[in-house]
Structure 1
Amino acid sequence: MLTLAKIDHLHIRVSDMSKALDWYRRVLGLVPDARYKQLQDGPHGVLMLTNTNATVRLALSEEAAPQNAQAGAIAFGVSGQDFLEWLERLAVERVLGRDGQSIARDSVRDFGFFCAVPFDDPFGNAFEIVSYDHTWLSSKLKLGASQQTQVR
């Protein structure tokens, strides 16, 4: 049976490559992957960014005005402890949630079996940090049934 093994990389459109590189490095800890340096040249060049263990790759391409930026969101899965650390990192970096407000503990969306914190990059691309360590996070974040979001 033919199956997909993994997501290799995701393409992200940005309007300012140097600003994007700074933001993705500072906020998400992603750095240029030297193995893909040759992809940067040419009219359809991309800058491949990766995390330290090369399990996440984003291919940034520069466009004057990104199209369909809100068509979907890229969700990164993390442990419960890492979720709390990402929540703090996003708050310190003053990253904006989808509501236009700075990320804070009340930005966490409780879906009953997982938690998510949605946010946008400076170019309107949508992201989420997601953890399925719901029971543990519920106690740490003092989440209640009244805060649960319906999955659509």
Structure 2
Amino acid sequence: MERLIQNVDHVQLPVNDMNKAISWYSEVLGLEPFTVYPHAAWLKFGSGPVLMLHYSTKNEKTSWFAEDGLPMPSFMFITRKISLLHSILQNHNVHIRQYEDHGFGWVIKFVDPFGNELGAYEPKEA
């Protein structure tokens, strides 16, 4: 059967201040904006899908809850420098929900200034 879906093109997050969001994602996470409009901005990672920040005044955010009631990120970033990421997040007073070794690698879960639940992990080398 032919695949109808090729891959993930971009992930969208709601934000209520586009300039603040672009600055935060650029300065804190190191993403590179490449297309910016008043209602949306696209930012590049090192590879893979792009991140789209979408302007919304509906006070919505991306999150869901695990069975234990903890908020969970909708997607996870991958990094090879999780301890540096942890330090940068701390230096920017980002709310960090979790930072620990999960066996398969180190995991960090944190919240952007708009309430979006985000996460990253550094896989252990085989």
TM-score range, shorter chain: 0.7 to 0.9
Look up the SS of the partner of 2:9 in the other structure: coil
Higher strand content, 1 or 2: 2
- Partner of 2:34 in structure 1? 33
- Partner of 2:9 in structure 1? 8
- Partner of 1:86 in structure 2? 85
C-alpha distance after superposition, 1:21-63 (max 9, x if no partner): 11111101112114xx5xx36xxx4211113x45351111111
C-alpha distance after superposition, 1:46-81 (max 9, x if no partner): 211113x453511111111342522351211122xx
Q: Distance in 2 between matches of 1:122 and 1:133?
A: 29
- Among all aligned residue pairs of Structure 1 and Structure 2, give the percentage whose two residues are the same amino acid: 26
CA RMSD of aligned residues (A): 2.3
Look up the SS of the partner of 1:108 in the other structure: strand
Higher helix content, 1 or 2: 1
Of residues 68-77 and 25-34 in structure 1, the stretch that sits farther from structure 2 once superposed is 68-77
Structure 1 runs (4+) deviating above 3 angstroms are 3-6, 53-56
8 A Cα contact 2:14 2:61, kept in partner: no
Query: Are residues 1:46 and 2:40 paired?
Result: yes
Q: Distance in 1 between matches of 2:32 and 2:106?
A: 27
Letter in 1 for 2:122: S
Q: Distance in 2 between matches of 1:30 and 1:56?
A: 12
Look up the SS of the partner of 1:7 in the other structure: coil
Unaligned runs of 5+ in 2: 65-71
